[in-house]
Amino acid sequence: MFQFFVTEEGGLTGAGYGIFAAAGAVLLILAAILASKTKKKRGKTMMAKELVFCAAAIALAFLTSYIRIMKMPWGGSVTLCSMLFVCLIGYWYGVKTGIMAGLAYGALQFLQEPYVLSGFQVCCDYIFAFAALGLSGLFMNAKNGLVKGYLLGALMRGAFHALGGYLYWMEYMPENFPKALEKLYPVAYNYSYIGAEAVITVVILGLPAVKSAMERVRRFARE
């Protein structure tokens, strides 16, 4: 059954691409439905607005994921704030919507560069990792909630990548990496680029003009 979706080289078959594309679309619609339920006024018009905002944020995340400041040798890169756009959805509409949108984005990332060793590896590297960005919604009503939520999302994304690295990618550890610290290699590798992007993003979010713009967009998204 697994071979119906995955090629011998670890890529996706046509059926695999179709399934993940459909799953991403369904998850995005579910995210919009959940977002609309956070409002007192509900209806098709409200849901359409949330769908547009969620889709726009995911599209911006996908676009900026190609603007790579630094690319790591075995996957991962420092991008132009791509994680932020997924975290925004959780900050706008809450953790449930954020996780759904993150799952949709994870499916999209998987379609971009699919590589399959096992189902759980796909979850660690793509599905769970990017869904974790939606945890930003836990701070949607907190002071400086966007920064706090973003940092939590980035931290948890790194945790899933590190788990996948420990289970599936240890063979790529450099020979000169200290043997006494080899179990920390997936942590060091993944948080090196996630942490660098997080620092850049937090600095940008701290700019008064950006902070003000983010709050205006949030108010418009939630009207």
CA–CA dist 157, 31 (Å, integer)? 19
pLDDT tens, position by position, 145-180? 999 999 999 999 999 999 999 999 898 888 888 888
User: What's the Rg (C-alpha) of the chain?
Assistant: 18
Q: What band does 59 get if pLDDT is binned at 50, 70 and 90? A: very high
How many CB atoms neighbour CB 214 within 10 A?
A: 16
pLDDT of residue 220: 93
According to DSSP, residue 71 is labeled E
Here the tokens at position 202 are 């937090």
User: Among all chains, which residue has been given the structure tokens 């418009």?
Assistant: 220
pLDDT of residue 22: 75
CA–CA dist 38, 15 (Å, integer)? 35
Domains of the chain, first to last? 2-222 (1.10.1760.20)
In whole numbers, what is the pLDDT of the chain averaged over residues?
A: 87
Angle at which helices 82-93 and 145-168 pack, to 10 degrees? 120
Bridge partners, residue 70, by sequence? 78
User: Among all chains, which residue has been given the structure tokens 């003000």?
Assistant: 212
pLDDT tens, position by position, 11-58? 667 665 677 667 767 776 777 677 666 655 555 555 788 889 999 999
pLDDT tens, position by position, 74-103? 889 999 999 999 999 999 999 999 999 999
